[in-house]
Amino acid sequence: MKYNPMKILISKMTASANLAAYLLAAGLVLNLSAVVAKEAETTQVADAAVAKIVSLTNPSASYGVQIGDKLSRKVVLDVPMPYQIAKEAFPKKGKKANGIELVEVNVETDQQKTRTLYTVSLGYQAFTNTNTPAVMQLPAEQFTLTGGEKADNQTMAIDLPAWGFWFSPLVSGNAETAQKNIQPEFTPPLVAIGAHQTRLILFLSVLAASLLALLYINADGNWLPFMGGAFAQAHRQLKRLSKSSGAKTAKEEKQALVYIHQAFNKLYRANIFARDIERFVTMRPSFKKMKGDIEQFFNYSNQSLYSTEARDSAKVIQNLVQLSKQLRDCERGV
């Protein structure tokens, strides 16, 4: 095999060229990656500094809208710091344009670290006198931003595009067309109220009976039959005596005792004494539950007649008022 120095030299030069090509390609790849990363970072910074519409919600149907129908739009605006939207920059309620009136404006603000989110709800109503279906649109709106640097003397704003829809008149045609479509009147069916009347009469009857029962149980007057019994009369006399002016003495106390004794005698149809209590409650079973109180009353009455000790006559009379009321209830069968 012959030694060829030219061939060896060419091989060495080819290897050096390949290595240089590889190094050049690697440098180009690194430079391209740095450029792409820088452009991406620049794009992110630019996006962060641009105000934009995050979401937009238009009415669900764009057809069949009639006069007076309410159409609602909701838009969320992303405004970077230090920009903001002044209150005067939002649409004004009551604004009218091309048969559309802005009837509702509601703005909610969410302040975050690097931006502000504005949620704007707009309500429109259509008012027009067209007789045929027509294409209408909710107007475009512009939200002007303030608070940023204006070195270029330009104003930043967010544009809300218009939204089109079909408006349908209530009646298509003229008066003759409306007259042909008039529906005949009909008498509404009657509602059966017999059952309600029966319930009302029953309710009123129960109410009247309840009121009479309360009146019979609690009234001191003699307005109804069986209300003017002996103890009812004694109770009225005792109440007048307890409410009379002046100090209560032993004389008034004895008079109060006499009122109750007279009531017992009237029901017993004779003068009743302590020994006659058993026979009295046998004749009048409704007083049996008060037998102990009746015996106590007669014992106290006997002590009052023969005792010389001083007592609180006003308190005694008040106790006799309560006793007469209880005896009156027994008399009325309560």
Residue 233: which of 202, 205, 213, 261 has the closest Cα?
A: 261
Q: Which numeric CATH code is attached to 52-172?
A: 2.60.40
Cα–Cα distance for residue pair 145/154, rounded to 1 Å: 11
Confidence (pLDDT) at 233: 84
Confidence (pLDDT) at 27: 59
Confidence (pLDDT) at 104: 92
Residue 123: which of 60, 59, 177 has the closest Cα?
A: 59
The burial class, CB within 10 Å (0-12 / 13-18 / 19+), for 261 is middle
Confidence (pLDDT) at 154: 55
User: Is the CB of residue 111 less than 8 Å from the CB of residue 83?
Assistant: no
- 55-62 contacts, C-beta under 8 A, 24 or more apart: 56/160, 58/138, 58/163, 59/163, 59/165, 61/165, 62/163, 62/164, 62/165, 62/166
Tokens 């120095």 correspond to what residue?
5
**Rounded to 5 degrees, what are φ and ψ at 153?**
60, 35
Cα–Cα distance for residue pair 310/178, rounded to 1 Å: 101
Q: In this structure, what token pair is assigned to residue 193?
A: 């109220």
User: Is the CB of residue 231 less than 8 Å from the CB of residue 237?
Assistant: no
Residue 70: which of 79, 80, 78, 60 has the closest Cα?
A: 60
Cα–Cα distance for residue pair 136/144, rounded to 1 Å: 25
pTM (predicted TM-score): 0.40
- Residues paired with 85 in a beta bridge: 145
Q: In this structure, what token pair is assigned to residue 269?
A: 């149809």
Cα–Cα distance for residue pair 158/50, rounded to 1 Å: 10
Q: What is the pLDDT along the chain (334 residues), one digit of tens a residue?
A: 444 554 444 454 555 555 555 555 555 555 655 544 455 444 444 444 678 899 999 998 888 888 888 899 999 999 998 888 888 889 998 888 888 899 999 999 998 888 999 999 999 998 887 777 888 888 999 898 888 665 444 567 889 899 998 888 776 666 776 677 777 777 888 888 888 888 998 999 989 888 877 766 666 555 555 566 788 888 888 888 888 887 788 888 888 889 999 988 988 889 998 899 999 989 988 889 989 999 999 888 888 777 667 778 888 888 888 888 888 888 877 7
Tokens 């008034």 correspond to what residue?
252
Q: Where are the domains of the chain?
A: 52-172, 229-331
- From start to end of the chain, where are the E strands? 52-57, 70-80, 84-85, 96-97, 100-111, 115-126, 134-138, 141-146, 157-160, 163-167
Cα–Cα distance for residue pair 168/64, rounded to 1 Å: 5
Cα–Cα distance for residue pair 73/60, rounded to 1 Å: 10
